Amino acid sequence: MSSSRKTRRIRPESLILFLLLVLAAVIRLYHLDHYSFWIDEGATGWFASLSLDEMKTALSQETNPALFYLLAKVWLYGGQSDFWARLLPCLAGVLGVGLTYLLAAEVWQSRKAGLAAAALAALSPLLVMYSQEFRSYSVLYALSTACLWLLWRWSGRGGWLSLVALALIGAGGFYTHYLFSLYLTALALTGYILVWPDRRRILALTSALALLFLLSLPGIYAGFVQTKHMAGTWWLWKPSLEFIQLVTASLSFRSALLNSFFLGTAVQVFIAVSFLIRRDRNGLALMVFAYLPLLLMLIVSFAFEPVLLYRVVIPSVAPVLALAGGWIVIRGRGAGAKAAVRIVAAVMVLGAVTGLYEYFLAPQSRDLRKPDWRAVVARVEEGYRPGDAVVMCPPQADFAFSWYMKKDGRFLPRRGFPFDWAAGRPPYPIVPDDLEGKLAKFKKELGRPERIWMITLDNNPVLRKAFDKAFLSAHRTLEKMSTEHLTLRLLQPKG
């Protein structure tokens, strides 16, 4: 009796997807720890270092929810290096590329469309940037893309497990970033567009959304308490028309060399109009998820507090790339259409590649440079001697300072203005009502140290200008080190 073994042939699409994931991983691992942490990454490390009770207290004055900080806390048990810390968002970024493939392939029922979208995601400068930052944004991208994929999977195949998973992952997105609530609003509308007018499926989707809402209730209350205790987004301004267009353009690619300000927006408009003309339901649903949250952010920014930033719109990238992947593969039929597809695809790939060049090799061409906290901390530790004082303005500078100082097991006493950094109290700077009086009191409490290591950031110009004036007029500068957005001075009292 003979038996024959059937060998499985690897599909070309599967091999290409594997190669795209390898490419995504290589790009995101390149220079992963080249730059030192900036303030927000230091904040992640600081929150993750707190005990659960301290974190609970500290979060009452934080604008972000706890989920990513808890995940980071567990992750940092494996190591404390910059590379290890950033490996967490890096892995989430590679996962996001795979989920982008699943989303586009499910929406258009085409593996080729999925591969086109995954290729654009692997090269996306915006996705790469936040995959190399020890913050929650690449995790948020993966969660939001998973929500969209599950929604389309359920709308086409049914199954209550997809809806339950959608509710759980959607709640996870909300506990990762509160502004994801705007995307959940868009997710609900997207789902109703897909299943309308099927009453049974409308009822099933409504039940899943109700479960998601119930799961999010504790976070809604916590978010309200946190927002109430914050003095406002002091470091943001109401978005200008130019900034709005730059943020929108970055969803397709971000490149100064290729003028993404114009081309990035033009590509999205061209693809969107193409789907609208054909009255394509899938295209319309993807556009709702991509652009409705941006509109809601603009309303919030002008009516209440500014919230629009590159990083908070990162969930919009997946539907934009899924639209592009579907348009390139599905709509590219006919001689004229094929020519248009080649042009658009070439523009998007070239824009992504030039954007990556700027990010990795020519950051001076854009506002991509980060302060060198490693050098600043190393200089202070090397030159510090008894009788010196270390002062910071604003005090959240200590987020990054403490991340690098603790690696050597040393503790240098620091003072922050307008208040000190302390466990359980995140040092968010505000502008005191009586700024001159607070400065006079701060200098009096500081005493007369032999030398002062003064660290100032330029993200709060009102505080920095007053702080510099108060100290530089009475001290002479022995040393000065300047990096992006950060200045270190060694001062000595005059006389």
Domain-ending residue, one of 346, 365, 384? 365
- Phi-psi category of residue 432: left, alpha or beta, with phi > 0 → left and psi -120 to 50 → alpha: beta
Domain shared by 287 and 431, yes or no:
no
114 within some domain: yes
Question: Which strands form 486-493's sheet, in the order they lie side by side?
Answer: 414-416, 388-393, 451-457, 486-493, 475-483
Report the 3 state secondary structure along 407-476: HHCCCCCEEECCCCCECCECCCCCCCCCHHHHHHHHHHHHCCCCEEEEEEECCCHHHHHHHHHHHHCCEE
What pLDDT is attached to residue 306? 83
Tallying the residues shown for the chain, one arrives at 495
Q: Are 320 and 252 in contact (CB under 8 A)?
A: yes
Alpha carbon 36 to its chain centroid, in Å, reads 17
Domain shared by 311 and 389, yes or no:
no
pLDDT surpasses 90 at 175: yes
Q: Rounded to the nearest 5 degrees, what angle is found at the Cα of 143, between the Cα atoms of 139 and 149?
A: 145
386 within some domain: yes
Split at pLDDT 50, 70, 90, the class of 262 is confident
CA-to-CA dists, residue 238 to 147, 215, 244, 299, angstroms: 30, 32, 10, 11
SS3 label, residue 141: helix
Among 309, 186, 174, 170, CA closest to 238: 309
pLDDT in tens, 125-141: 999 999 999 999 999 99
pLDDT in tens, 273-332: 989 988 899 999 999 999 999 999 999 989 888 888 889 999 999 999 999 999 988 765
pLDDT in tens, 196-213: 999 999 999 999 999 999
pTM (predicted TM-score): 0.92
Among 132, 45, 123, 135, CA closest to 90: 132
74 within some domain: no
Mean pLDDT of 233-250: 78
What pLDDT is attached to residue 308? 85
Please report, for the chain, how many H helices and E strands are present, in that order.
20, 5
Residue 37 carries which DSSP code?
P
What pLDDT is attached to residue 245? 85
pLDDT in tens, 422-459: 544 544 545 666 788 888 888 888 888 999 999 998 87
Of 407 and 113, more confident:
113
Span between the terminal Cα atoms of the chain, in Å: 103
Q: Are 331 and 341 in contact (CB under 8 A)?
A: yes
Domain shared by 151 and 198, yes or no:
yes
53 within some domain: no
Give the range among 224-238, 277-291, 398-412, 427-441 with minimum mean pLDDT.
Answer: 224-238
401 vs 38: CA distance, rounded Å: 9
330 within some domain: yes
What pLDDT is attached to residue 228? 64
Q: What's the token pair of residue 296? A: 């809601």
pLDDT surpasses 50 at 225: yes
Backbone angles phi, psi at 6, to 5 degrees: -85, 125
Domain shared by 282 and 134, yes or no:
yes
Split at pLDDT 50, 70, 90, the class of 148 is very high
Domain shared by 265 and 386, yes or no:
no
Domain-ending residue, one of 338, 365, 392? 365
SS3 label, residue 491: strand
Question: How many structural domains is the chain composed of?
Answer: 2
pLDDT surpasses 60 at 6: no
268 within some domain: yes
pLDDT surpasses 80 at 4: no
Domain-ending residue, one of 365, 383, 403? 365
pLDDT in tens, 330-383: 765 555 677 788 888 899 999 999 999 888 887 655 455 678 899 999 999 999
Domain shared by 342 and 410, yes or no:
no
CA-to-CA dists, residue 50 to 43, 73, 261, 320, 359, angstroms: 11, 8, 41, 38, 32
What pLDDT is attached to residue 118? 97
Among 378, 327, 359, CA closest to 120: 327
Q: What's the token pair of residue 198? A: 């099927």
Give the range among 121-125, 360-364, 479-483 with minimum mean pLDDT.
Answer: 360-364
pLDDT surpasses 80 at 101: yes
Q: What's the token pair of residue 372? A: 């060198």
434 within some domain: yes
Mean pLDDT of 32-61: 89
Q: What's the token pair of residue 4? A: 């024959």
Residue 219 carries which DSSP code?
H
Domain shared by 238 and 357, yes or no:
yes
What pLDDT is attached to residue 116? 96
408 DSSP β-pair partners: none
Domain shared by 215 and 356, yes or no:
yes
Query: Average pLDDT of the chain?
Result: 87
What pLDDT is attached to residue 406? 66
pLDDT surpasses 50 at 153: yes
What pLDDT is attached to residue 226? 72
Domain shared by 329 and 428, yes or no:
no
Domain shared by 350 and 438, yes or no:
no
**Percent of the chain scoring above 90 in pLDDT:** 54
pLDDT in tens, 58-100: 887 778 899 999 999 999 999 999 999 999 999 999 999 999 9
What pLDDT is attached to residue 341? 84
Domain shared by 112 and 152, yes or no:
yes
Domain that holds residue 416: 373-493
266 within some domain: yes
Domain shared by 327 and 444, yes or no:
no
What pLDDT is attached to residue 235? 56
